[in-house]
Chains A and B, each alone.
Chain A
Amino acid sequence: MAWTDSRIFQQAMINPIAGRCWTTAVPTTYSSLSADDIRASLFNNSVTPDRTVAVGSTGYNTGTWTTGNEVTDVTNWTATGRALGTKTFTVDTGSSSICFSAANLSGAGNVTITNAFGCLIYDNTITGGTVVDQGLCYNYFGGAQSVVAGAFTIVWATPGGGAISAVFNITV
């Protein structure tokens, strides 16, 4: 089974997102979503995203998220993906959710991308404890996305009733 939806990993919810709720050791070298290098890597339709997998299978280049399934451009959207910028973590009253937001994400220049079906959002700063480069969530685009020598920009959606766009949100 390939992509079906967009989800936060259960293991990311328990640590690091809700890690302060318990005496759980934070992932090694993890600081915060604001300070860490949070990245988006593109993947093909050979992955099988599963929000319930063990933490060891949520990281970049672990589980289904291996580099063999990654979609890259030679120069401007290389392996390990692109870093998110202008991040925020705030309550959106309209959607009654906590939103992790970032600026729309583009390549470093024109790219050639073939059949990107979705992206893995992961913490490139984490070096262990949970898993290296721990995944936070995955976002399914809803079909194949291909571009030839052009701009590729990910535009994050806005939750229903909400006022701000979000990479992921937690309804409370």
Chain B
Amino acid sequence: MSVPLLVAYQDWHCPECGAEERTPPLPPNASRMHTCPRLHMLTAPMVRAGSDCKLVATERGDYLGNEIQATGDDGKPYMNVETVHADGHNDLAVFAPVARGYL
């Protein structure tokens, strides 16, 4: 008797730019990142296929000063990309600036 060999996979997509990816199954809290042309070329999460959501890039809320933080192709610093789900919950990819020192 032949036994079918099933290969599990997870499909991901970006609701903004439409990028798609297929991976092996990942843990529930795992995230996949990509560089999103619709979000100022920021590093943005992909969502599991079938998710009803949108991505929103949030500009840094404070003076940038000498900080090094993720900057979009529009020249503005961004502090996060928020995934806003239709059911009311959200996810955050927070851009942490580099802590710097000098020698």
Residues of A that sit less than 8 Å from B by CB: 3-8, 13, 18, 76, 104, 106-110, 113, 116, 118-119, 121, 137-160, 166-172
State whether B99 touches A142 (Cβ < 8 A): no
Contacts of A150 in B (CB 8 A): 83, 85, 89-92
Q: Is B39 an interface residue (CB 8 A)?
A: no
Q: Is B77 an interface residue (CB 8 A)?
A: yes
Distance in angstroms from A49 CB to nearest chain B CB is 10
State whether B98 touches A153 (Cβ < 8 A): no
State whether A142 touches B77 (Cβ < 8 A): yes
Number of A-B contacts (CB under 8 A): 150
State whether B31 touches A106 (Cβ < 8 A): yes
Distance in angstroms from A139 CB to nearest chain B CB is 4
- State which residues 56-100 of B face A: CB under 8 Å: 58, 60-62, 64-70, 77, 79-80, 83, 85, 88-100
Interface size, B (range): 35 or more
Q: Which residue of B lies closest to A2 (CB)?
A: B62
Task: Give the contacting residue for B99; candidates A113, A139, A145, A151; CB below 8 A.
Answer: A139
Contacts of A167 in B (CB 8 A): 96, 98-99
State whether A121 touches B99 (Cβ < 8 A): yes
State whether A147 touches B62 (Cβ < 8 A): no
State whether B98 touches A142 (Cβ < 8 A): no
Residues of B that sit less than 8 Å from A by CB: 28-31, 33, 43, 45, 58, 60-62, 64-70, 77, 79-80, 83, 85, 88-103
Contacts of A76 in B (CB 8 A): 29
State whether B80 touches A145 (Cβ < 8 A): yes
Contacts of A113 in B (CB 8 A): 92
Distance in angstroms from B68 CB to nearest chain A CB is 5
Contacts A/B (CB < 8 Å), 14 sampled: A4-B62, A5-B97, A7-B101, A110-B29, A139-B98, A140-B62, A143-B79, A150-B91, A151-B31, A151-B92, A153-B31, A153-B45, A153-B92, A157-B98
Contacts of B33 in A (CB 8 A): 104, 155
Given the contacts A141-B80, A160-B68, A6 and B96 also touching, CB distance less than 8 Å? yes
